[in-house]
Amino acid sequence: DELTHLLGPSARLDYALLGVGADGHVASLFPGRPAACDERQRVIAVLDSPKPPIRRLTLSLPLLGAAERVVVMALGESKAGALRDAIMRPDSSLPVAQLLRRAARPLVLIDEGAASAMKRRWASTLCCILASIELNASVSGRSSSGTRRRAIGERSASRRA
């Protein structure tokens, strides 16, 4: 109520950049938890999070989904099943799937690991999305996690050689 009073009833985010968990959660909206289903609130108190900290605040799916641009990033094989479910199943109840369905301009950024559970055709197409991020990382020789990476284009070229 305080946020609505401060920003107005039609306030919305310009940009929402979110990671996705292996279970398909975004923000602190976990599958099967009441907070993921709350349509009335903009900010939700999560009192029983399955991951520490147990008590936290999160933005709601309606507020996140109404953002001008919604970007979800999934990196690694641990995210593959949730991502496949969210993208390939139109009836998926995972929070990431609900968010992507609500978003007017969704963008999903993934790597090869996160795409590994999808059909090869989808995986190769979707992995190209991260090419520019990987290229930027290869300029410095490091990814954001500090590990050495090569751009997707370089990997493809080295496999053909």
pLDDT string in tens for the chain (161-residue length): 777 788 777 888 999 999 999 999 999 999 998 877 878 888 889 999 999 999 999 999 999 999 999 999 999 999 999 999 998 899 999 999 999 999 999 999 988 898 888 865 555 555 554 444 444 444 444 444 443 333 333 333 334 34
- Determine the residue type at 95: P
Which 3 state secondary structure label does DSSP give 147? coil
Whether residue 72 contacts residue 107, with contact meaning beta carbons closer than 8 Å, is answered with yes
CA angle 78, 83, 89 (to 5 degrees): 140
Which 3 state secondary structure label does DSSP give 91? coil
Using the structure block, give the residue that is written with the tokens 């953002």. 67
Going by the DSSP 8-state scheme, the letter that residue 59 receives in this structure is: E
pLDDT recorded at residue 8: 79
Whether residue 109 contacts residue 133, with contact meaning beta carbons closer than 8 Å, is answered with yes
pLDDT recorded at residue 135: 43
Whether residue 30 contacts residue 86, with contact meaning beta carbons closer than 8 Å, is answered with no
Report pTM. Answer: 0.73
Which 3 state secondary structure label does DSSP give 16? strand
Residues near 102 by beta carbon (within 8 Å), at least 6 away in sequence: 61, 62, 64, 65, 66, 70
Query: Cα 129 from chain centroid?
Result: 14
Using the structure block, give the residue that is written with the tokens 């602190």. 28
Give me the long-range contacts of 4-9 (CB less than 8 A, separation at least 24): 4/42
